[in-house]
Structure 1
Amino acid sequence: PEGVKVGKQRALVADRLTLKAIMVSAATGKIEQEIKLFEVEKPEPKHALNSYASPTAVIVDNFVYCHFGTYGTACVDRETGKVVWTETTLHCDHQNGPGSSPVLFGDLLVIHFDGRDKQYLAAIDRHTGRVAWKTDRSGRMHDNNDFKKAYGTPLIVESNGVPLVVSPAADWVYGYDARNGSEVWKAHYGQLGFSTVPCPVEWKGKVYISTSYMKPRLLAVDYSGRGDVTESHVKWVSDKQAPSKPSMLVVKGRLYIVNDKGIASCLDAESGEELWKARLSGEYSASPLHANGFVYFFGQNGTATVFKDGPTVVEVARNQLDEGFMASPAVSGNTMFLRTEAALYRIDQK
């Protein structure tokens, strides 16, 4: 972006924005292509901690699907760099910039659009870019439009033979039929919950939701219900150390969490009982990662802390990079890719 002025809470962009897909060689780190996808005149303001390219891309076969919220979605052939299609009809007022990532169900990309002005989710045909279905949120929300927005990413699960989109939004988490977008169930958070960021995770018939702001709350919801399941299918609730931005991680019935202030904890996923807790260095936005029996946490101050996966706290290593982590890590085989505020790193197993 050009013409940027940064205030206490939001970065105001006064001129124009170019949104790109960048192809980097996994072997060498060399930038091989920069593909211009959208030119935006006078984009909306965003939060100082956010970017206009926060949503995570989806790769299927030879195609990369890049989503930029209200500014559009694009399909790129990753062999040729050709833009196959763009979709620019789905809009909302993010207020703080885009944050929701698409997820794949069959040939559909399912995406949240929870803005101040309108709240819905939609599915885009990945071959054509056409909107396959679109469903408005049904739950009653706060009268203040600032409390209606969310930045969550859905999760696809299966219940009773139905593919479900588990979809956290402001004040409610929903279950939709992924095939047509029809609402199957919804559950209220039990308190105000908005600007929801963490992606749900699943374990043995339950999904785990963090409500983000004002005060984050953690809920375990049985996703087999129908209708309003607030009273019947919310299995436990915890108001301790829930994250506002990082997603959670579940491994063998252990739920790993790091909140924004750097408190890492491990809960029993079945009961919500805390198994251990540890104070990490700095603040956190990136989500934890599990690989090869270890759990990794990446801080905004550049600290990477490694724990052994298990019911007791065992810190294995603590490493430091010069720049901080906002993005979550990615793994391919025994290789880890880390994106800091200034660089992209490839870390290989020794």
Structure 2
Amino acid sequence: MRKPTKLVTLGLFVLAQLLFSCAGTYPENWTHFRGSNLNGLSDSENVPSQWSETENIAWKVPVNGVGWSSPVVFNQQVWMTTADRDGDWFSVVCFDFDSGELLQELELYRPDTVQRMHATNSYATPTPCIEKDFVYVHYGTYGTACIDTRNFEVVWSRTDLNCEHLQGAASSIILYKDLLIVHLEGTDVQNIFALNKHTGETVWQVGTPDQKAYNDVAPVYRKSYQTPLIIQVNGQDQLITNRSLFAISYDPNTGKENWRVFYGEDSAVSMPLYYNGLVLVNSGWVLSQGAPYFARLLAVDPTGKGDITESHVVWQTDEHVPQTSTPVIVDSLMFMVDERGSLTCLNPGNGEVHWTEKLKGHFNCSPIYAAGVIYFTNTNGETSVIKAASEFELLAKNKLDGTFKATPAVLRGAILQRSDKYLYKLAIMEENQAEI
């Protein structure tokens, strides 16, 4: 058999590259907070379950500033927002997925003044979202922008979408068709914007859902920190958002309200979930004698219209419900960890608890599922790996240095884990040797 000539080999290589470029994407990307489907589920296999500062680290790179936003990934680019600890500057960084090389660091905003912020928050907490050729970043009242990922140029920027955050911004942005959905709910105004993702222009806007109800609560409880979710019900898309006091469904094309559920006094952080025809929403803290006491989880039938508080809440619980992190649903099991480490597995269809265990530490990161296991990372960098099963089984505990509040991205057999100083790529190394 004749061996292929160098010219033929080169031609085949070029053809392969052309076909790959036409395909446009890698097998798995991570485009939003909690993944491309915003559900905390990764399709990745062969993901590491054990690591340390010297084991199964593909690379570890420093990140200027501080931010609790999660990394997002498209093709070879990893993007994150970051900011000066005191809010002097707001930037975005881009790393190469394979090598960790810094590809771009772009300062976007340098405000004259900044608002106060809760000590547990950062000035770069909202997670970006990304698609082919464009990444979208958001810093709350300080700015929202679109960047061309091919040349790193700013396509558009808005600094006129404002509110008084009081404790800082946290709501992440999401893409829907040609719209970028942006939550800006503060103590003064409570707005949701749908921006044209190509131009940044406002397509629709909704404000405070019930001014009278909001007047009856302290300003700090009028805002929300959550990330919305798009679901489909009877062939129609719904934008589900945990607003302060109310969970509300909107038509994402127009901003018209479908239904609402009244659920509590404080601000929601944990984002909504959707399982087997039920929307699962977090109330935020329910207050006792004026102080945060517990959070409530409600399962809502989203087929109703108007105020469905009394008619469409299927079940609810206030046992070990997280106020900050978002649970993950794997098949017919929901796994959630509250701030103090109480880990619960329950049936999302009826709220029946399968088991409850206790993990060490304080938890802000949302759990992520991949390859049959679930990762729970506490703020001290210790990750507990459990089997995704109706019986509790702890498989491993792993420790990295630093403070961890950003939810990891899990794709292509790797975990991207952000600390207060570094971005790690965790992967199974052939010799279990750190390559830093």
Distance 1:284 1:211 in 2: 18
Max Rg structure: 2
Deviates more, 1:331-340 or 1:280-289: 331-340
Query: Which digits, 9 at most, give the CA deviation of each residue in 1:229-277, with x for residues without a partner?
Result: 1011111110101111111111112111010111111110111011111
Question: Once superposed, what is the RMSD of the aligned Cα atoms?
Answer: 1.7
Structure 1 segments of 4+ aligned residues over 4 angstroms from their partners: 13-16
Query: Which digits, 9 at most, give the CA deviation of each residue in 1:134-184, with x for residues without a partner?
Result: 011323233321211111110000112221110001111000000000111
Query: Which digits, 9 at most, give the CA deviation of each residue in 1:30-83, with x for residues without a partner?
Result: 222111111111100111111111000000111010011111110011121101
Checking the alignment, whether the CA contact within 8 Å between 2:224 and 2:268 is kept in structure 1 is yes
Distance 1:115 1:324 in 2: 27
Say which of 67, 72, 84 aligns to 2:155: 84
Indicate the residue corresponding to 1:178 in structure 2. Answer: 252
User: Residues 1-350 of structure 1 correspond to what in structure 2 (within 5 A)?
Assistant: 17-139=88-210, 140-141=213-214, 142-189=216-263, 191-192=264-265, 194-213=266-285, 214=292, 215-349=294-428
Where structure 1 has 5 or more consecutive residues not aligned to the other structure, the ranges are 3-12
Q: What SS is found at the alignment partner of 2:311? A: helix
Distance 1:15 1:343 in 2: 18
Q: What SS is found at the alignment partner of 2:141? A: helix
Q: What SS is found at the alignment partner of 1:84? A: strand
Query: Which digits, 9 at most, give the CA deviation of each residue in 1:75-109, with x for residues without a partner?
Result: 01112110111012211111111100011110101
- Percent identity between the two aligned chains: 35
CA apart distance, 1:343: 1.1
Where structure 2 has 5 or more consecutive residues not aligned to the other structure, the ranges are 1-63, 66-83, 286-291, 430-436
Q: What SS is found at the alignment partner of 2:395? A: strand
CA apart distance, 1:324: 2.6
Indicate the residue corresponding to 1:6 in structure 2. Answer: none
Checking the alignment, whether the CA contact within 8 Å between 1:184 and 1:226 is kept in structure 2 is yes
Distance 1:259 1:14 in 2: 27
Distance 2:413 2:311 in 1: 42
Checking the alignment, whether the CA contact within 8 Å between 1:286 and 1:299 is kept in structure 2 is yes
User: TM-score normalised to the size of structure 2?
Assistant: 0.75
CA apart distance, 1:29: 1.6
Distance 1:15 1:96 in 2: 13
Kindly tell me the number of residue pairs found equivalent between the two proteins.
338
Q: What SS is found at the alignment partner of 1:94? A: coil
